[in-house]
Structure 1
């Protein structure tokens, strides 16, 4: 079973209302339980009555408890603004997802098929947004507009949620839906999606009720809110464009973003600013910066399962007998920090643990190489973006005392660190066996406020 089979189940479940039937065997197979050895299989929703299954599966990887059942429309923090003239300043991270190429499907296939397909794609988008604590504000044709952030969530974490959401959408849509289209006779040539994300702080976004009492909605306005849809329109196919408000607020690293290249007079040039370039009252250009998310690099530090990430990045090499984790040391013990899932306060003590199962057929001793890289304007210039190798650690099965056959089930080595600079930083782990073969490779991203 693979992603397109799961998407087939999404399509079949909701399209059956309109007489589009699939084989019973396909439905049974698509209900099989998620298997981590397979990867993301089983993570797509199996129908409207089971709409929360997808987000439940995703949320566990990012240490998010419960489920997000918020309906479309007014953000729950601002329900009190409905039918009032009150306004509230509150930050927001806005995401705009536009599904491209689905309009052409109406020229090629019957309307029931087109409706079922588009609805299955939008259902997937909605549940991924809610999986990352997002609030779906509007569905506009083939587009979904969402807000991330709430009164009890740090501004930085709304950005972490939005970027992880966009990354997960790309995995699910590109690796699940496109192959499904090919297998089921739908032309995927023009199909794709583009995402725009931007952030505005408390003094840059205002919430209020637009329209009248009976014909209106509570929404947000501000430069960053308006820019999200424009950023989406400038993104490459199947890519995410990040706006200046987001890039500057969290010191987003150049390593995890890049300028989109456009051809001018036969020469490819970086597109640094959002176009059309709007102007101030004195006609000076805004020059609003934008950069595309470097998906191939960010997926390396995503909290999605290793089996999923290794299919995308050659720098992620899985090994069932080796585990690499990060922990926050606290007075009453330690708590696991999930890679690139949220921003941490400065001044925290971290512990990077590498464990190996002694019962596995590993060729001990193992050499553990940890490489730290700090990014961002707060990092000293001599260190910024420079990989710094830690002293090698070694994992070996200890010698046993005479007549003793007791061997620990696993052996762990640790490397202490601490949170110092605002931004996103990485710790890469490479494990080499006694023959010099690379048997494990992974990377943890640490976000710091």
Structure 2
């Protein structure tokens, strides 16, 4: 018997009522009847009613290696028994060790690393560095982008679903390039697409009144539905930026640490122009612990003239988790596993979608796949269909996420832990295929409404 069986007040339904009574209305929850996840192991989690799920979303791409990974939980426990917190005002050996390793793998020369507690805070810091270094509050961002929930991060977020205010300390200029198969350049081949987007950027910069500080871009747009431009697009942008002294910020919060399979960082798909000036990271490196951070050239990182600290960024416990998690990632070649198993999963998802009338596109790379749903015959995003498939998948024991642009969440986001096995990839794809077929049937005759 579960706790919910013994205590009605502890049931998910009652917990949901308590949630609504004390937490903000805008704090989103999945499912018509939200679930409480109580524990996990490997690629699986269990809810408070004892239901077991194959986790294909990993706490929004945060459980990067596995739930309850022994190497990470042991490192956290051992560090917690020594000391939980000191702050950045004192020397912190785990923080220095992790910073050394991240600087080495970042690809940025003469790199410096600053730790935060989240991707939002990391992007906020990157914007502070760029605007201070360039003495300008003008930022170029991509349409459909998402960079966090702070005031400045919202100010450069191009996805209207996640931008609750137009007020901002920044002047943001939005350019094309984040979505390959929609918009005015969708019908062009890759070379022509890159050329058109680059001309758009050049024209935009020509109209900007003053020096622009930086371009911030996700190599693969996460919340936007796992969309991206062609490989080499950001390299072409980089050439335009370099001529004008404008910095490039690569938002690697969702694409870092080998998730795309082909590369350790998303920017490396555009490596012709070299590394970015600033790189931001978070989510997966902590495997559930709150770690974010910024890597930048020393010249850029050291441009702040005022004092600054981070009370919780780089805490001994989170740094211990990060070091252990990075060890496991590298020693077990999880980037290679993302490439191999992710390739298989994408094939299976494309095969599953082939017979579905509501699937517009399956896209992605590595263990980062998006299944976009649309009204048949129109191509219009269909968020209700995505919500239905999300529910149907959960009923059969699979958790996936949602995202997308056009002020809708019509894309199923599939991003399991990087230790995913072939058998689990097959199982998850089979469940999702069944969910799509069931949705096709249930939505039959409704697709024109």
TM-score, normalisation: structure 2: 0.24
The structure whose residues are more often strand, as a share, is 1
The structure whose residues are more often helix, as a share, is 2
User: Which of structures 1 and 2 has the bigger CA Rg?
Assistant: 1
TM-score, normalisation: structure 1: 0.24
